[in-house]
Amino acid sequence: MVNLSLKQRIPPLENGDRLTRYEFERRYQAMPSHLKAELIEGVVYLASPLRFESHAEPHGHVIGWLWTYQIATAGVRLGIEPTVRLDADNEPQPDGVLLIAPAARGQSRLNEDDYIEGAPELVVEIAASSVAIDLHDKKKAYGRNGVKEYIIWQIFENKLDWFSLQQGEYVSLEVDANGIIKSQVFPGLWLSMSDLLAGNMQQVLAILQLGLNSPEHQLFVQQLSGERR
């Protein structure tokens, strides 16, 4: 006699599983809620436990920088580790996303289940143990689906890359003569990379404030306001 409870039991997710997005979501929803999993190019990745200095603290610094920008920019929304339905083979949970709200004609939307459908304008990943995935398969998936800017902070290498999608390929944004990187998608989102890497968040926020006071940021806010009307 077939044991129906075993037959109907949903298999757990395992690292390296190759699944459709539907099957990934079915198994993910049956897992304990504190576990994090991603589907990247059809392959399942389960997150390792997160350490403080090599992930949690830098994650907090980046989110603080993005949050400061978001509250000064109506029409822009910030999310921490959201599920993003990119395509049939990719459902990542990036460390942070900054997106233009659908009402302001952003390129992604929230579906009826409150998940992001499509590509946020900017994605951030804190890469401690996941550098190989973040720099290769995730980067390919994000670029192919139209994520316009992609920030990867490699903690152990003490290195940050800020990529801009140009003609279907990611190219690195360069620091200017003052050591500042400026977003091409979110005017006024300025970053002093050396200060971020050094943990000098007061100076990071001071440079961001210069960006928020810039004419291009004021124009961007006006444009977003006009789109929402």
pLDDT at 7 over 70: no
| Residue range 169-174: mean pLDDT, rounded | 96
Model pLDDT for residues 147-158, shown as the tens digit of each residue: 999 999 999 899
Q: What Cα–Cα distance (Å) separates residue 224 from each residue in 71, 143, 214? A: 14, 24, 16
Angle 57-71/201-212 helices, nearest 10 degrees? 20
Query: 5 falls in which pLDDT band (50, 70, 90)?
Result: very low
Q: What pLDDT, on a 0 to 100 scale, did the predictor assign at position 50?
A: 80
Question: What's this model's pTM, rounded to 2 decimal places?
Answer: 0.89
Enumerate residues 6+ apart whose C-beta is below 8 A from 102: 108, 109, 110
- Across the chain, mean pLDDT equals 91
Which range, of 9-13, 71-75, 91-95, averages the lowest pLDDT?
Answer: 9-13
| Residue range 108-126: mean pLDDT, rounded | 95
Q: What pLDDT, on a 0 to 100 scale, did the predictor assign at position 33?
A: 73
pLDDT at 102 over 60: yes
Q: What pLDDT, on a 0 to 100 scale, did the predictor assign at position 206?
A: 98
pLDDT at 6 over 50: no
Where on the phi/psi map is residue 162: left (φ > 0), alpha (ψ -120 to 50), or beta? beta
Model pLDDT for residues 44-71, shown as the tens digit of each residue: 888 877 889 889 999 999 999 999 999 9
CATH architecture of 50-228: Alpha-Beta Complex (3.90)
Q: Where are the beta strands (DSSP E) in 17-138?
A: 37-40, 43-46, 76-79, 84-85, 96-100, 109-110, 116-117, 122-127
Model pLDDT for residues 173-216, shown as the tens digit of each residue: 999 999 999 999 999 999 999 999 999 999 999 999 999 999 99
Q: What pLDDT, on a 0 to 100 scale, did the predictor assign at position 130?
A: 60
pLDDT at 166 over 60: yes
